[in-house]
Amino acid sequence: MNLTLLMYLIPSLFMFGCGVYGFITRKNMIAIMISLELMLNSVDINFVVFNRYLFPGQLDGMFFTLFAIAIAAAETALALAIVINIFRATKNVDIQQILKLKF
Amino acid sequence: MESVGNIILYFVIAIAIIVFSVLTVTTRQILRSATYLLFVLFATAILYFQMDYQFLGAVQIAVYAGGIVVLFVFAILLTHKPGADAEPLSTHRRWLGLSAAVLGIAVCGYAVFSHAAFCGRQLATVADLDMATIGHFLLSTDKWGYLLPFEAVSILLLACIIGGVVIARKR
């Protein structure tokens, strides 16, 4: 039995599906962010696996993943700051009850 | 032919990723959701180690598991009562989410499996990737260099710091 490219794409595919499901069904803003992280992570896996299997001599997929991780970290930090600020103003993180941008 | 250890490790990673991602989006307690996300990220890091990208695995653990998940836990503890369950989902919303996810998985799965021959490639051995090579690629301006994105990310992080200070500042 050999480990092929296909076998690594399947868990990442399921991870992305879970991210989509959580992104649509969750009402809590932090839970939506967590689902977003799942989707980003599955894309990272795809980058790395494609790079490693199809172009083993090059490093482009690895660097894409590296930058994607950095950008995801920055984005999460800012988004959570915004969520906490909204919570301070409204005592709520439910996405369906926050209808105003300015309080 | 792969070694038995590699295959066992692959199955552990794959099952952990699938099970914990499902648990992440289905559990009712948000703190558990963050914990399961941590497990998924660890499994991903192990996958990177298996792919021989040690630096990437270390970055994954340090930035994702050490940084982002801690941020999530802080945000959750600041905004939620511990132990409180989320409200149950409305069936309409659950069906919408399920159909979107299943449709997406079906389309992408069809695309992947229709190229199964192409995807059946095996792992080629490469020379060990050392830090010096990564550093040279990151800071070179040659054809395969990544100096411009590197600097762009540094500006992005600066903007992120300023944004964080502006948002969190007391008015």
Residue in chain A lying closest to B90 (CA): A25
State the Cα–Cα distance between residues A76 and B128, nearest whole angstrom: 32
Residue B84, chain A, CB below 8 Å: the answer is: no
Amino acid A103: pLDDT: 64
Q: Do the domain assignments include residue A99?
A: no
Residue A11, chain B, CB below 8 Å: the answer is: yes
Q: What is the pLDDT of residues B72-115, one digit of tens each?
A: 999 999 888 877 777 777 788 889 999 999 999 999 999 988 88
State the Cα–Cα distance between residues A51 and A56, nearest whole angstrom: 6
- In chain B, what are the domains? 4-124 (1.20.120.1200), 130-171 (no CATH)
Residue B128, chain A, CB below 8 Å: the answer is: no
Measured between beta carbons, the chain B residues lying within 8 angstroms of A15 are: 17-18, 21, 40
The CATH code of the domain that includes A30 is 1.10.287.3510
Q: φ and ψ at B156, to 5 degrees? A: -60, -40
Q: What is the domain range of residue A26?
A: 5-90
Is residue B119 scored above 80 in pLDDT?
A: no
Amino acid A56: pLDDT: 82
Chain A nearest C-alpha distance from B133 (Å):
10
The total number of structural domains in chain A stands at: 1
State the Cα–Cα distance between residues A15 and B39, nearest whole angstrom: 13
Q: Do the domain assignments include residue A72?
A: yes
Measured between beta carbons, the chain B residues lying within 8 angstroms of A49 are: 51
ipTM for the predicted complex comes to 0.92
User: Which residues have C-beta within 8 Å of that of residue B29, sequence separation ≥ 6?
Assistant: B83, B84, B85, B86
In the stretch 73-102 of chain A, residues with CB closer than 8 A to chain B read 73-78, 80-85, 87, 93
Q: What is the pLDDT of residues B14-31, one digit of tens each?
A: 999 999 999 999 998 899
Q: Do the domain assignments include residue A102?
A: no
* Alpha helices (runs of H) in chain A, residue ranges in sequence order: 5-25, 29-54, 60-90
Mutate to test the interface with B, among A62, A98, A103 (most CBs of B within 10 A): A62
Residues A40 and A51 sit within 8 Å (Cβ to Cβ): no
